[in-house]
Amino acid sequence: MPADRVLPTEETADLLRLVRHLATTELAPAVARAEAEEDFPREVFRLLGRAGVLGLPYPEEVGGGGVSYEVYLQVLEELAAVWASVGVGVSVHALSCFGLFTRGTEEQKAWLPDMLGGEQLGAYCLSEAHAGSDPAAMRTTARRDGDHYVLDGAKAWTTHGGHADFYKVMARTADDRNGISCFLVPADSEGLLADPPERKMGLTGSATATMRFDGVRVPVERRLGEEGDGLKIALAGLDSGRLGIAAVATGLAQGALDHALAYARERETFGRRIIDHQGLGFVLADMEAAVQSARATTLAAARLRDLGRPFSRAASVAKLVATDQAMKVTTDAVQVLGGAGYTRDFPVERYMREAKVMQIFEGTNQIQRMVIARGLDARGSGEISHV
């Protein structure tokens, strides 16, 4: 039961139909094996790059698709409804290109077409083992040495770690808390190594690894922005990244609902389909309400972004609502299937495992509540404009 969508043009409706077709014909047949074998689907990202999906929210003049965030997030939903690891990967790749697009020089932006076209897959290095929710506590350093910087340290929880072609890296260039700069580091840089991937509860088709920087030399021209701009670049990108994860969580919840509904229409107990039993019917109704509320909240935040209005608080609301609802919906999907839902014969147990991490990455939901509360306080004191 694909989601009903209201799209701004017939062209964007065609885009969603194309993505749904790719998800059905290319992703769906591969997902179960890849997730079971923890196999990173690099060729899927090349396929999506050639189809123009990886660069959708960026302008056409830099190799992107030029679509609104409202449309782009619905594309992420369609992907995640079938394969959450791929949805997360597309969102992370878009985030890894964000600093270059917003703060890069004209010479640096010449790198964007290959990145947005999928020939180069990106990763994002911000967190460290002791610096997750508090990125300003990072210890990875970048020391200036002539026309290069020398990077030393380790970055944890790197999506695409060991598979990416470039890494957007935040590293300390000064001792003060905000003395952090941003670098675009090629994967083949000498001294850059990936640890074995983390053994995760879910998203096992998405490689997550610690990246180690041992005297990695990075040319000065690969620094984005000025020294000390790194934390600003990172936090500006995270607002958009949170919308991406909200969309992935919504798609995941939609996929779980679709499987639960199909099962409830076919499975019979006491001579009736289980959807006809009020107890199960109400569970499915609550799941539908949860998915629709997550989608509406996420797209409302996207529209603010598209209008150029402040959307940080709205992005945190969307990330909080969508990921909490995804956890609930996927848990209920397992319940609808009963004992069958607890087996790997059906994908809902995988959806439930995948939903958990969405309440954690791109800022835990406790951090989102902090952001929302601060935004409310600022609004109450008149510091946030209506424009």
Report the SS3 class of residue 155: strand
Q: Residues 307, 242, 225, 231: what is their CA dihedral angle, to the nearest 10 degrees? A: 130
| 125 beta partners | 169
- The H or E element that residue 209 is part of is strand 208-219
- Alpha-carbon gap, residue 44 to 119, rounded angstroms: 12
- Alpha-carbon gap, residue 55 to 48, rounded angstroms: 9
- Alpha-carbon gap, residue 108 to 225, rounded angstroms: 11
198 flagged as catalytic: no
| 335 beta partners | none
* Cβ neighbours, 10 Å, residue 271: 6
- Alpha-carbon gap, residue 137 to 175, rounded angstroms: 11
Catalytic pick among 78, 354, 362, 383:
362
- Residues involved in catalysis: 362
